[in-house]
Amino acid sequence: MECVETSEGLSRMYKVSVPAADLQKRLTARIEEVRPQMNLKGFRPGKVPAAHVRKMFGKDLMGEVVQAMVQETSEKAIADADVRPAGQPEMHMESEMEAVLEGNADLAYHMHVDIMPEFEPVDVKKLTIKKPVAEISDAELDERLATIAEANQKYDKRGKTAKARDKDAIVIDFIGKIDGEAFEGGAAEGHTLVLGSDSFIPGFEEQLVGLIAGD
């Protein structure tokens, strides 16, 4: 494995390369590892020739080798650099993976790592803490309480023939259209509206004053 490090502030980049010959050695070892468990037609169990395994499953097994090699070499690069990563490395393959899996190219990638800064521990007993306190006026407190109270008002049901008045809460279904076509976000069912809250377009709420349930 060859590793080249570049740094900028708390960011590190490691360029890693593994020769194709090393990958082939790992592939040969992996083939020998799986051969005893193989049971293919035309061969006695566990007696499939290595050349046949390489021909039939070489690319898949090489994929396993590459994955394991990236994991191993990336961990080694960070360990050799003696840094503390602040998160997971970002991996970027540089090799043409098809050529790597076919055994015709070296494995090459680079990874970006943000590291923890170096600092000297301090004695917490010597620390002083200033507690920030927000100064809130009575007027601000009253305004906030009024907002909370308004948002949690209780309404009593009125008779079915009672007409809607200003400050009443009514439940409506509506759909908005432009040139006869409904537009996105312009419809709702069971929407509670307090008349006079000016939460709808100007002039809309005034038209609901005087209506009764079912209108």
Distance of alpha carbon 185 from its chain centroid, rounded?
27
> Is the torsion defined by CA of 41, 43, 46, 49 positive or negative?
negative
CA distance 8 to 14: 12
- What pLDDT is stored for residue 119 in this prediction? 83
How far apart (Å, rounded) are the C-alpha atoms in residues 61 and 33? 11
Residue 85's φ and ψ, nearest 5 degrees, are: -65, 140
Q: Is the pLDDT of residue 203 over 80?
A: yes
Q: What is the mean pLDDT of residues 87-91?
A: 93
Say how far apart CA 34 and CA 36 lie, in whole Å. 6
Quick one: which of 215, 197, 214 has its CA closest to 206?
197
Per 3-state DSSP, what percentage of the chain is helix, strand, and coil (rounded to 5)?
35, 25, 40
| pLDDT given at position 160 | 84
Residue range 23-80, pLDDT digits in tens = 999 999 999 999 888 888 888 888 889 999 999 999 999 999 999 999 999 999 999 9
What would the mean pLDDT of 150-168 be, rounded to a whole number? Answer: 86
Whole-model pTM over 0.85: no
Q: State mean pLDDT over 101-105.
A: 93
> Looking at the predicted structure, is the pLDDT value of residue 2 above 90?
no
Domains plus CATH for the chain? Answer: 2-114 (3.30.70.1050), 138-208 (no CATH)
